[in-house]
């Protein structure tokens, strides 16, 4: 695997299956795909026959193994790329590998728990780069590819904290609130071009992002959720597939998946 600055790209695993005569092959870019929600989304899209481009920042071994397994299991082409999506230069290099795109899934994200006045400016900027600026970096390059077909979908993975805010997670809440506003505004801009833009606002999903909490803290959070459990990454992936397969009139929506936690 050849290293290029803060990014590495492999040749795609597998081959692109032939499309039906009257249909174009579907392709998707999923950011933050090495684990958790992004991994589940990649698996779900592979089952649907998508040609995949997958990114993550650090977990090169996990991402390449996932890409190889998906290509072998579902007979799809899958390109793993190590890239910091909060770095515009890295995003430009990712899109240099993509000539056609049906679906963009902005999933990469990080959290920060702590008092706002104890957060450094560098920590704030790093979080915003990954959680919010990355949407600008990816969408500005994905949109021209979708305009060629006068069709496409952008789905942003957000959080309920973008709707209601959370103490000790001000930066994260602000970034996800920005994701929600970005989603609604861009949907209005792209609707005349046949491109749908939606977001999924997740509640507590059982992923590594929540490993910072103790068992006692997790139990207390679980007790607040009417569904009496945490969501699974596969449930978010299934919701994403529902949005992908929904009528084209569904756009500009932030759909909450949280077990009635913030209802």
Place of tokens 């481009």: 53
Catalytic residue status for 50: no
The rounded distance, in Å, linking the Cα atoms of 129 and 110 is 10
Give the rounded distance of the alpha carbon of 67 from its chain centre: 16
Helix (H) or strand (E) holding 102: none
Contacts of 67 (CB under 8 A, 6+ apart): 10, 13, 52, 54, 78, 79, 80
Place of tokens 């430009």: 92
As given in the structure block, the two tokens for residue 221 are: 């959070």
The rounded distance, in Å, linking the Cα atoms of 72 and 196 is 31
Set 13, 50, 137, 172: catalytic member: 172
As given in the structure block, the two tokens for residue 220 are: 């207390």
Contacts of 259 (CB under 8 A, 6+ apart): 203, 225, 226, 227, 228, 229, 230, 231
The rounded distance, in Å, linking the Cα atoms of 201 and 262 is 11
Please list the active-site residues. 172
């Amino acid at each position: 695997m050849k290293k290029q600055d803060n990014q590495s790209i492999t040749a795609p695993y597998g081959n692109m299956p032939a499309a039906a005569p009257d249909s174009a092959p579907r392709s998707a870019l999923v950011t933050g795909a090495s684990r958790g929600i992004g991994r589940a989304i990649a698996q779900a899209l592979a089952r649907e026959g998508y040609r995949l481009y997958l990114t993550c920042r650090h977990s090169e071994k996990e991402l390449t193994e996932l890409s190889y397994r998906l290509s072998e299991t579902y007979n799809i082409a899958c390109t793993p790329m190590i890239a910091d999506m909060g770095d515009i230069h890295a995003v430009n290099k990712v899109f240099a590998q993509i000539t056609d795109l049906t679906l963009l899934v902005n999933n990469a994200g990080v959290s920060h728990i702590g008092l706002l006045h104890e957060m450094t400016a560098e920590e704030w900027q790093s979080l915003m780069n990954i959680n919010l600026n990355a949407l600008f970096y990816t969408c500005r390059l994905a949109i021209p590819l979708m305009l060629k077909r006068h069709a496409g979908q952008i789905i942003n993975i957000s959080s309920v904290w973008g709707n209601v805010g959370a103490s000790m997670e001000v930066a994260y809440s602000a970034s996800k609130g920005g994701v929600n506003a970005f989603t609604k505004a861009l949907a209005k801009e792209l609707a005349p071009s046949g491109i749908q833009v939606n977001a999924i606002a997740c509640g507590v999903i059982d992923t590594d992002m929540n490993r910072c909490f103790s068992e006692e803290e997790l139990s207390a959070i679980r007790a607040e959720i009417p569904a009496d459990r945490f969501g699974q990454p596969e449930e978010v992936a299934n919701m994403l597939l529902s949005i992908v397969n929904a009528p084209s009139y569904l756009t500009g929506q932030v759909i909450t998946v949280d077990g009635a936690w913030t209802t």
